[in-house]
Structure 1
């Protein structure tokens, strides 16, 4: 590594101050093993045991005591319920969600119900002012400190009641200041800071310049709204880990059966599905994914992927900027290349071979170019706090200057479809947001660090379409672009 581009912990601390954290703190704390996502765990560590390096024995003890008291384990559920029923006020740290039960007419006024998944309590009462102060509870929910008691509700019945709630506040985000911070780093230093902030060690010898770009491309669905992408990779590359830990706006669903109500809208309960609730929905283990009724799902899904809107069961249209990410395992040959390189989706469920659906994905992340994850590849440097990092990424969604830059600096040389052009530009815009948030860059930097990887992502989809459907042979086989 060039001496000018070595990982500089002092520089990160100097520039980002209390928005940075020593990434060694988290794995040595044991919090993630307790089921606590990184964006919550790092926030807690910084409040309870701030510092650098692995946790000391005393710090471990403080964290362990906090976990024992505040984070329920599987065996604790019934004990906590019993203690609350006996009149104790219990405090815990968990995810809290609220829904309004208007499934069927009732003579009584329906009141909102709180759900605490970790305790398997789906129908708790909740003080109205808590919902008013935390509207995000209505939907994906919020992590925070929950206080429970057992009280008589307005219907005159005893029930578990959420009487207090202290949400975890994410770090304040100022995108303009964030862009100024970027100017203090070289491209390589900034790229490695992003990688470290994802929880990976950029100095590990397994990561080369190319693999770092493809790992960071996993961030594109966060910085770009309605960014739909697949990642195909062998097992063990850590495809889902980051998505599970970055922010509560991201939801990961692993394999199994997906129903239309869960994905779009539940007409019986009135609940909006994944695509209308979260900012990023991730379907993991797609190679084993089944749809309860494919015909009921594929149509609305194609509509949604094309224009960010869907309709189901005669209800009003639902608009969403949720990005859909599909993660699937593929087999590699002896040269660590995909076994079915001419048809990367050969082992995916049959409906993915429908070209009209496939065309609506921005690209395919080449997970076969990403090293398999080992524990010694975890970050050991100073990176951005996960809660701050996640909020920065989502805040960058709102800025359309980056797409305009890509549009005005990209020239399409080969004959490709309008969708190829738009989706490639959207990827280039995403890379600009990641690497040059202040838009201070040269044309050469744009070409090599943004446009070329964006072109590669879309080329994977374009090649599949070209091979699967003669209709796409009206376009040239290769997407050729340059700066202008």
Structure 2
């Protein structure tokens, strides 16, 4: 096991499970992950391999014998009749039959309807009155001659969810993990391999958990298909429900005026709308108006009654166009149905997650390591909803006065939600808090910028803050604006962040206007190539030394050859340029590296680049030293991009299409 898995089993014994086991037991059962992991938690929450193997077989047996498949419903009914009673796993919903004055249950897969169920059960598990809850129950059959009497009897029923968790114990155990370790634990817990994601993308994934820990939180995520936008809301927790955006009604969501029944917001912590996008989709305008009031005030009214609820609202959908197209020709909300394309409604959104930054999920992105049993984590997150962490940023920072109250509330709720997820015990440094605040501001600013494009009455807002410890002012911008709208992010020596309009620099000999300075590249940023980053600084250089300790793995060797290609393109005519590489290596890679470098030297000679190399121990700094008087200090060396999808991914061949890793590049005149 990895060291992190060992540590997780040590401090959370009995509460974690190996995530690949879910696939082993699921088979063709159409059942949420939290149901399977509830069972795995009973039998496989250990790191003992023999116990795990036995537990997997037990869970497989339970699923095979008791899970109700729709196509086997009649067989299950027959089994119950022949045996007298039988234990099953099915999704149950309950309604009140006011004519008979009794509650009646419906079985999603078994197909039974109007089966009497005890009032006591409903008092204990009121969520059964909503759209359905997965349960383990014992169903009996007793034939009777009584008219209109049902032979089916629910003897016992238990919703599938962990009953008790100790939040104090969870917080105490969390203190044994560093911040980065804890983020990876959470990534593994939601089924993802943290090694395949950048830091920013990890935050985007964990931001999907904010509605689970924050009351009345309104989140939207729009992006390409296949990035897992809706998965977490259907699979992660028994306290969230995923519904089709086209199937919503006032009665289903809020309250049914005909019988007074409260809708979904009264029973669920999260109501998520799947497939929310689509310009041609129709919506009830009255529903939109009720939603606007609820999202702003946590209350809704039908008739004369006013109700309150704490359910968070999540809207997920697919975009029709790439981001540059939307920014130029429309806005980032353009894909929404006409009735929801309403500035008053959209202004209630606390955060807009940029789904286009999240890569489509590939097999290697799923983890086979340990993570929390999702049902346990779901209960912990639900307990954290009771806490308020929205004002903790104020210990370190002061938001700009121009930020409106609604904007500040949105920023504070996103900050507080992420703080509860990543720092449940409450201890945060200024640096930790700044990362979360920047993220929160950016995702609210994304909403506000679109509102300003849609309606000119929305005034511009200065989304900046002051660091109390230093008095420095920091301006936050959305990544897509930096990428596509002619801005670049710079950092002053006093550590304050500013934004500057990008102007094309001349690249011809004698016309260069290069200057000392620094460029900041953010996680997931695109549009960056070696040429537009530092290509102009190579012009006129005839002797170039690259210092980079990590040029050994296939993708690192690819990066170096792309750099060497740029050197050949920037040199004058038939001139020769010396290119020397100083790097480090070890016994595992050194022979392959030597072979690769010899082939490179032979190849590059044909384009006028005289390549040489040396191995040096204990080097750390990364730089390009040029005999034209410039030095380029590379924070990450040539390794500035995230992993591509391989040979069949256009990102493999076009640098500007690749997602970047966060780093800084500094230009110094010698």
On whether the aligned pair clears a TM of 0.5, the verdict is yes
Deviation at 1:223, TM superposition (A): 0.8
Deviation at 1:322, TM superposition (A): 0.4
Alignment pair present for 1:47 and 2:42: yes
Distance 2:283 2:203 in 1: 37
Please show how residues 204-215 of structure 1 align to structure 2 within 5 Å: 204=196, 207-215=197-205
Distance 2:434 2:123 in 1: 48
Q: Larger Rg: 1 or 2?
A: 2
The 3-state SS of whatever aligns with 1:173 is coil
Kept after mapping to 2: 8 A contact 1:257/1:292: no
Give the equivalent residue in structure 1 for 2:135: 144
> Among 339, 342, 346, which residue is 2:325 paired with?
339
Deviation at 1:63, TM superposition (A): 3.5
What whole-Å deviation, never above 9, does each CA across 1:221-242 have from its counterpart, x for those lacking one? Answer: 1111000010011000011111
Number of residue pairs matched? Answer: 463
Q: Rate the CA distance shift 1:51–1:25 in 2: closer, same or farther, 3 A.
A: farther
Please show how residues 235-314 of structure 1 align to structure 2 within 5 Å: 235-288=225-278, 294-312=284-302, 314=303
Distance 1:7 1:430 in 2: 28
What whole-Å deviation, never above 9, does each CA across 1:168-196 have from its counterpart, x for those lacking one? Answer: 45063222222222211111101111111
Deviation at 1:65, TM superposition (A): 2.8
Deviation at 1:55, TM superposition (A): 10
Please show how residues 5-44 of structure 1 align to structure 2 within 5 Å: 8-30=4-26, 33-44=28-39
Kept after mapping to 1: 8 A contact 2:127/2:268: no
Q: Rate the CA distance shift 1:341–1:77 in 2: closer, same or farther, 3 A.
A: same
Task: Give the alignment's TM-score, normalised by structure 2.
Answer: 0.65
What whole-Å deviation, never above 9, does each CA across 1:328-385 have from its counterpart, x for those lacking one? Answer: 111454xxx4530360011211223211111001010111111111233112111111
Kept after mapping to 1: 8 A contact 2:140/2:152: yes
The 3-state SS of whatever aligns with 1:288 is coil
> Among 444, 450, 472, which residue is 2:458 paired with?
472
The 3-state SS of whatever aligns with 2:72 is helix
Q: Rate the CA distance shift 1:262–1:142 in 2: closer, same or farther, 3 A.
A: closer
Distance 1:195 1:34 in 2: 25
Deviation at 1:290, TM superposition (A): 7.3
Distance 1:186 1:460 in 2: 30
Give the equivalent residue in structure 1 for 2:419: 432
Distance 1:269 1:78 in 2: 33
> Among 39, 64, 75, which residue is 1:79 paired with?
75
What whole-Å deviation, never above 9, does each CA across 1:186-233 have from its counterpart, x for those lacking one? Answer: 1110111111111111122xx111111111110111111000010011
Deviation at 1:57, TM superposition (A): 7.7
In structure 1, stretches of 5+ residues that fail to align are 1-5
Please show how residues 292-441 of structure 1 align to structure 2 within 5 Å: 294-312=284-302, 314-331=303-320, 333=322, 337=323, 339-341=325-327, 343-400=331-388, 402-413=389-400, 415-441=402-428
Distance 1:212 1:7 in 2: 20
Task: Give the alignment's TM-score, normalised by structure 1.
Answer: 0.88
Distance 2:182 2:35 in 1: 24
Higher-RCO chain (CA-CA 8 Å, sequence separation at least 6): 1
Give the equivalent residue in structure 2 for 1:3: none
In structure 2, stretches of 5+ residues that fail to align are 469-670
Kept after mapping to 2: 8 A contact 1:125/1:159: no
Alignment pair present for 1:202 and 2:190: no
What whole-Å deviation, never above 9, does each CA across 1:407-447 have from its counterpart, x for those lacking one? Answer: 44431125121100111111111111111111111112100
Deviation at 1:259, TM superposition (A): 2.1
Kept after mapping to 2: 8 A contact 1:239/1:327: yes
Give the equivalent residue in structure 2 for 1:120: 111
Q: Rate the CA distance shift 1:202–1:145 in 2: closer, same or farther, 3 A.
A: same
The 3-state SS of whatever aligns with 1:267 is coil
Distance 1:153 1:13 in 2: 56
Distance 1:442 1:463 in 2: 30
The 3-state SS of whatever aligns with 1:253 is strand
Give the equivalent residue in structure 2 for 1:173: 165
The 3-state SS of whatever aligns with 2:13 is helix
Distance 2:65 2:366 in 1: 28
Q: Rate the CA distance shift 1:472–1:153 in 2: closer, same or farther, 3 A.
A: farther
What whole-Å deviation, never above 9, does each CA across 1:8-49 have from its counterpart, x for those lacking one? Answer: 111111111111111121122225x41221222112123245
Kept after mapping to 2: 8 A contact 1:101/1:269: no
Q: Rate the CA distance shift 1:172–1:465 in 2: closer, same or farther, 3 A.
A: same
Let me know the Cα RMSD of the aligned residues: 2.6
Distance 1:389 1:82 in 2: 37
> Among 465, 469, 480, which residue is 1:481 paired with?
465
